[in-house]
Chain A
Amino acid sequence: MTSISNTQKQPVLKLINVCKRFGGVVAANEISFELYAGEIFGLIGPNGSGKTTLINLITGIYSVDSGSIVLDGKNIVRMPIHNRARVGIVRTFQHPRLLGRCDIRANISLGKDLADKRKIPDTDKYQERMGVLLEAAGLTNVDLSDSIEKLSYGQQKMLEIVRALLSKPKVLLLDEPAAGLNRKEMSYIINLIDFAVKEDICVLLIEHAMDLVMSICQRLTVLNFGQQIASGIPSEIQENPAVIKAYLGGSRNAEN
């Protein structure tokens, strides 16, 4: 296991031996990794390997059986969901969960609401920040008073990321942001992730689109049946025989 992180930096989020089981199924077994500010960390693995479960554990939707989750040196495993969001862990969902019957502005404002709850002081810069984010997401042309249903699926996913970023989180957990998007929309996602990195937010990325993961992640960890089978930089992972066997299999070419 080789680490490329700067040793002088403290990790923002640290998972230490996190375990979770549902009945007889081990969804997470002794998972440990750490995330640094401004870093993009990839989490990959075949379907059902426990990626989303891990995000649910970090955000508190599930409680861990054992192990600890440390944010800025503080163990947060006993914190309820909403408090974890308030200390800076913000996520998106595989399928965007927005206010279906409200306009776009209200949806974006939820991000600002969280920023207010987090006592982020730069509310005066909020409009400016929103403009930058919307531009990065390619949403400049939409009418903010339109119903959310007017947006395409991809735009809704983008909007969810914009909403998350508006709260200036410390950790951003992205659950398959690129699934179901076209090339152009994918580039907007990259824009948004770049924006996050610029703001020193650490990004945990779950993704199936291999080329995206390999191109933008600095480090990766690979899950299979709740086990952490490999960690490291993308080039190492690509060559790791265990990973190829478990995940990429023989169909690596088909994947690209």
Chain B
Amino acid sequence: MKQLNYKFVIKYILPGLFLAFCLAIPGFTSGYMLRVLNIALITYLCVLSLYVILGMCGQNSFAQAGLWGVGAYMAANFVMKMGAPPLAALLLSSLGTAVFAFVLGFAFFRLRQYYFTFASVGLMAILNGLFMNWNEVTGGALGITNIPSFSIGGAIIKSEPGNFYVIFFICLAAFFLMKVLFNSALGRSFMAIRDNEIAANCLGVNSLLTKSIAFGISGALCGAAGALYAFLAGYLSYQTFTFQQSTMYLIMIMLGGTMSPSGALIGTLIISLLQEWVRPLQNYMQFIYGAGIMILMIVQPEGIFGGGKAIYDKYLKHSKTARTEAD
């Protein structure tokens, strides 16, 4: 057995190294880069929510940035008007957004396929209109200022590195929850709906309920992301939670590949960092960014991770089966 155990390397050593690297990040990055990463990780939660509803359940939603906003404003209100501790606000707003999304899903998922997508475009516009004009709850166009930082049991987390660890661990938890969901009966029923709704029904899957649950779970992720954003930014305004933001999530997940949480992470990081990399271009930055998206899509229409997985299946899995046959 001179052969290296690929499975072991891929399953444990590489992720372990990656984890160690991530934990060390605050040690060698600047405040700016860390801020970018923090926002990217919060965005990752929203992209994961799109992974649940689009990648697993096959329903494309443009309302995710709206749900993100719902979570953010909920958290701000819980903390500032009701005096809830941030941790409780995080959980409550995640739960609240989940319920909100679930109820809406129950209404919207009577629509099939792209009609739901259309409805989600409408929902996004309606939510943005509310964020801008509902003075009592969202502070209107001026937004909400002076939102306290995140804290756990009295320990206030104000610095970027502190926030990084909090957000990182929540993302990690979400990542593993996705893995659990993927292997659960619920996850399988999502995927059955994605692949063929009628066949799924014939296996006892209630599509309306299941899709609503998927939307609810995506709402929970967006809600958590919203709360984290509120605590990190300290300021909320309508100009953050826009349709453009939702389309960016779609770009991210399409680029990374809709089929895995890791792909979503890669897509999120590429787009988030691409936006910052093109900064030195100043006036040309968005132009090159747009062209970059086009080129990336043309080169890798199935998403970058889609390609990666194909390579994994082709070479690494092959060597594994070869080995079992040799045994």
Chain A residues proximal to chain B, CB less than 8 Å: 59-61, 80-83, 85-86, 90-91, 93, 97-102, 106, 109-114, 116-118, 143, 146-147, 163, 167
Closest 4 CB pairs of A and B: A85-B204, A81-B201, A97-B199, A113-B185
A102 lies within 8 A of B191 (CB)? yes
User: Which residues on A sit within 8 Å (CB–CB) of B317?
Assistant: 146
A101 lies within 8 A of B259 (CB)? yes
Which of A81, A98, A143, A146 touches B202 (beta carbons < 8 Å)?
Answer: A81
- Cβ distance A97 to chain B, nearest Cβ, rounded Å: 4
A113 lies within 8 A of B188 (CB)? yes
- Cβ distance A13 to chain B, nearest Cβ, rounded Å: 15
B204 lies within 8 A of A117 (CB)? yes
Chain B residues proximal to chain A, CB less than 8 Å: 183, 185, 188-189, 191-192, 195-196, 198-199, 201-207, 259, 313, 317, 321, 324
Does more than half of chain B's interface fall in helix, strand or loop, or is it mixed? Answer: helix
Which of A81, A86, A110, A146 touches B192 (beta carbons < 8 Å)?
Answer: A110
A97 lies within 8 A of B206 (CB)? no
Report 28 cross-chain contacts, Cβ distance below 8 Å, ordered by A residue: A60-B201, A61-B198, A80-B201, A80-B206, A81-B198, A82-B201, A82-B204, A82-B205, A83-B204, A83-B206, A85-B203, A90-B202, A90-B203, A97-B196, A99-B192, A101-B195, A106-B191, A109-B185, A109-B188, A110-B203, A112-B185, A114-B203, A114-B204, A116-B185, A118-B204, A143-B321, A146-B317, A167-B204
Beyond A82-B204, A100-B195, A113-B188, 10 extra complex contacts between A and B, CB < 8 Å: A61-B201, A85-B204, A90-B202, A98-B195, A101-B195, A102-B188, A109-B185, A110-B188, A116-B185, A147-B313
User: Which residues on B sit within 8 Å (CB–CB) of A102?
Assistant: 188, 191
User: Which residues on A sit within 8 Å (CB–CB) of B207?
Assistant: 82
User: Which residues on B sit within 8 Å (CB–CB) of A60?
Assistant: 201
A85 lies within 8 A of B191 (CB)? no
Smallest Cβ-Cβ distance to B259: which chain A residue: A101
User: Which residues on A sit within 8 Å (CB–CB) of B183?
Assistant: 106
